[in-house]
């Protein structure tokens, strides 16, 4: 009877360890092929994201849309970081113009409703508009418009869709602030 109890306990332990191992493998595979994590560097996406926030993005991102927060690895001139976190403002074929006196961004002639920005857009960088977004590209900007190097800067310019690593889904760190606005 004691041997049966010991065998039963050993079987239970083996089942538990197997489940934990399978869960670890599933999470590792998910974060290798489906999801990615990125740490936000800098304040260009403030107030939506802060320096040091850790975000999870999906690798299955095919069609950029206005308002998406994306991570791009498009090669840029120094001293631009290798990875940029920005918000999609316009997609291919759309026309972007910015009224720097009023601080308003227009896409196809319509003013954008941007409750997520830190302040009105006053920093021109290299922007001379209006501009039409070329095929296969996006126009992206940081939410902290006057402290963001983005598509207004010639070093970044239009971002090629093939360099988009993914769309931000939610914030992993800090805990308790998961939603990305």
Residues 102/60, Cβ–Cβ less than 8 Å? no
Residues 6+ apart with CB under 8 A from 100: 121, 122, 123, 124
- Label residue 101 left, alpha or beta by phi (over 0 means left) and psi (-120 to 50 means alpha): alpha
pTM score of the predicted model: 0.77
Residue of 86, 148, 151, 167 marked catalytic: 86
CA 21 – CA 27 distance, rounded (Å): 10
Residue 105, strand partner residues: 98
Q: Is 23 exposed, middle or buried (0-12, 13-18, 19+ CB in 10 A)?
A: exposed
- Element holding 97 (H helix, E strand): strand 95-99
The answer to whether position 70 is within a domain reads yes
Q: What is the layout of strands, in order, in the sheet containing 95-99?
A: 110-111, 104-107, 95-99, 131-132
The answer to whether position 23 is within a domain reads no
Q: What pLDDT, on the 0 to 100 scale, is given for residue 105?
A: 97
Q: What pLDDT, on the 0 to 100 scale, is given for residue 79?
A: 59
Q: How many domains does the chain have?
A: 1
pLDDT at 32 > cutoff 60: no
Q: Give 81-101 pLDDT, tens digit per residue.
A: 678 899 999 999 999 999 999
CA 9 – CA 138 distance, rounded (Å): 58
Residue of 44, 148, 151, 167 marked catalytic: 44
Residue 9 bears catalytic tag: no
Which CATH number does the domain housing residue 140 bear?
2.10.109.10
The answer to whether position 180 is within a domain reads no
The answer to whether position 30 is within a domain reads no
**Mean pLDDT of all residues belonging to the chain:** 84
The answer to whether position 46 is within a domain reads yes
The answer to whether position 24 is within a domain reads no
CA 163 – CA 42 distance, rounded (Å): 20
Q: Containing domain of residue 133, as a range?
A: 35-172
Residue 86 bears catalytic tag: yes
The answer to whether position 105 is within a domain reads yes
Residue 56, strand partner residues: 37, 170
pLDDT at 140 > cutoff 90: yes
């Amino acid at each position: 009877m004691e041997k049966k109890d010991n065998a039963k306990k050993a079987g239970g332990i083996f089942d538990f360890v197997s489940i934990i191992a399978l869960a670890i493998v599933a999470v590792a595979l998910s974060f290798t092929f489906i999801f990615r994590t990125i740490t936000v560097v800098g304040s260009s996406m403030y107030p939506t994201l802060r320096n040091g926030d850790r975000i999870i993005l999906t690798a299955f991102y095919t069609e950029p849309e206005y308002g998406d927060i994306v991570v791009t690895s498009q090669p840029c001139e120094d001293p631009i970081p290798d990875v940029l976190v920005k918000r999609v403002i316009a997609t291919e074929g759309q026309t972007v113009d910015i009224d720097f006196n009023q601080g308003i961004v227009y896409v196809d002639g319509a003013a954008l409703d941007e409750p997520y920005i830190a302040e009105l857009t006053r920093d021109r960088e290299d922007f001379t508009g209006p501009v039409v977004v070329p095929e296969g590209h996006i126009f992206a900007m940081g939410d902290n418009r006057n402290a963001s190097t983005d598509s207004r800067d010639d070093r970044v310019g239009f971002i090629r869709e093939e360099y988009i690593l993914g769309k931000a889904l939610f914030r992993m760190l800090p805990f308790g602030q998961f939603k990305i606005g």
